[in-house]
Structure 1
Amino acid sequence: MSIEVANESGIGVDELALISVARFALDRMDIHPQAELSLLLVDVEAMTELHIQWMDEPGPTDVMSFPMDELDTARTPDPEAPGPALLGDVVLCPAVAAEQAEQAGHALDDELHLLTVHGVLHLLGYDHVEPDEEREMFRLQNELLDAWRELAPSARTVSEG
């Protein structure tokens, strides 16, 4: 699985952990092992522009997802099914995440792991507009994060993917 990270936020983050949690979530969701994902970390100004442009909402947000290919091509295929897909981009704003982490009483890394999984699930078609959708998405998000965190730190390395 190819996961690229571009950190344009000006804030140092553990990029390898973001790749690891994203890869773990995609593996657990049976996404083709050769699928491609991009993680982009941006500053408040860039996230504000994206949020206004794509969601028509003011101010920055913590995470946005921009799907690329059809989801059907990304699922683990039958021998006859199409190959891997370009899943899309997950855009994170570490400055907003830092504020949320402080309010929640946990570390920035924990918030970014959560937001990465959240963004990946959006790419896979999950949403939280309706209460039932929200319960399902957040349940799955928590299950994935808990399972990833239970792994020994050495098992969470990127080289295993």
Structure 2
Amino acid sequence: MSNKIEVSSDEALAEPVWITGVEPFIQKVFNRLDIDQWELSVLFCHDPFIADLNKRFRDIEGPTDVLSFEQGDEYIDDDEVTWFNAGDIVISVDALARNCEEFNVSMNDELKRLLVHGILHLDGMDHADNSPEQEMLQFQEHLLSGFSSISLVGES
């Protein structure tokens, strides 16, 4: 399987040491979901950056933990390969830390959850609220259970 995954951090954020593990993790998620020929970017930022996006694109005040911006277009590269430009995922590292405290989970588990959540949105899934009865959230947790041994941030 071949996918193009770009992972970066906003200029206001010192690049987290664990950022190098994000792309290989996403590729494993793509493999599990049988996703191929996708192009995706992930940007890590602080709360003010994601709060601005949340206001501009969702008309919601304040920061959130993860946003997904679907592109949904295809293009053919020079080698005649068709690529699906899935879109962009933006994750606030400040909200990531708050979620860890609020939900009493490790940073490793919460980071994987936010990444998978963003990918599922780009793959066309959605949820009406954050209740555990939501089909997308149930699928997300089932999917994450298969990645419990993977450590992105050096903790488990």
After the TM superposition, which residues 28-43 of structure 1 pair with which residues of structure 2 at under 5 Å, given as runs?
Answer: 28-32=32-36, 34-43=37-46
* Distance change >3 Å, CA 52–CA 17, structure 1 → 2: same
Higher strand proportion? 2
Higher helix proportion? 1
For residue 14 of structure 1, what is the aligned residue in structure 2? 18
* Distance change >3 Å, CA 133–CA 83, structure 1 → 2: farther
* Distance change >3 Å, CA 26–CA 105, structure 1 → 2: same
CA apart distance, 1:149: 2.0
Q: Deviations over 1:66-108 (max 9, x none)?
A: 11124xx6xxxxxxxx822111101000101101101111222
Q: Deviations over 1:101-121 (max 9, x none)?
A: 011112222211100000000
Question: Greater relative contact order (Cα 8 A, min sep 6): structure 1 or 2?
Answer: 1
Q: Deviations over 1:27-67 (max 9, x none)?
A: 222211x3211000111111110000111111000000011
Between the two proteins, the alignment pairs up a number of residues equal to: 143
Where does structure 2 lack aligned partners over 5 or more consecutive residues?
75-80
Percentage of identical aligned residues:
32
For residue 50 of structure 2, what is the aligned residue in structure 1? 47
* Distance change >3 Å, CA 134–CA 64, structure 1 → 2: farther
Residue pair 2:128, 2:134 contacting (<8 A) in 1 also: no
CA apart distance, 1:13: 4.8
For residue 159 of structure 1, what is the aligned residue in structure 2? none
Residue pair 1:10, 1:43 contacting (<8 A) in 2 also: no
When normalised by structure 2's length, the TM-score is 0.80
How far apart, CA to CA, are the structure 1 residues paired with 2:96 and 2:131?
Answer: 25
After the TM superposition, which residues 72-87 of structure 1 pair with which residues of structure 2 at under 5 Å, given as runs?
Answer: 83-87=82-86
Residue pair 1:69, 1:87 contacting (<8 A) in 2 also: yes
For residue 97 of structure 1, what is the aligned residue in structure 2? 96
When normalised by structure 1's length, the TM-score is 0.77
For residue 116 of structure 2, what is the aligned residue in structure 1? 117
RMSD over aligned CA atoms reads 2.6
Residue pair 1:128, 1:134 contacting (<8 A) in 2 also: no
For residue 88 of structure 1, what is the aligned residue in structure 2? 87
CA apart distance, 1:16: 3.0
How far apart, CA to CA, are the structure 2 residues paired with 1:51 and 1:94?
Answer: 15
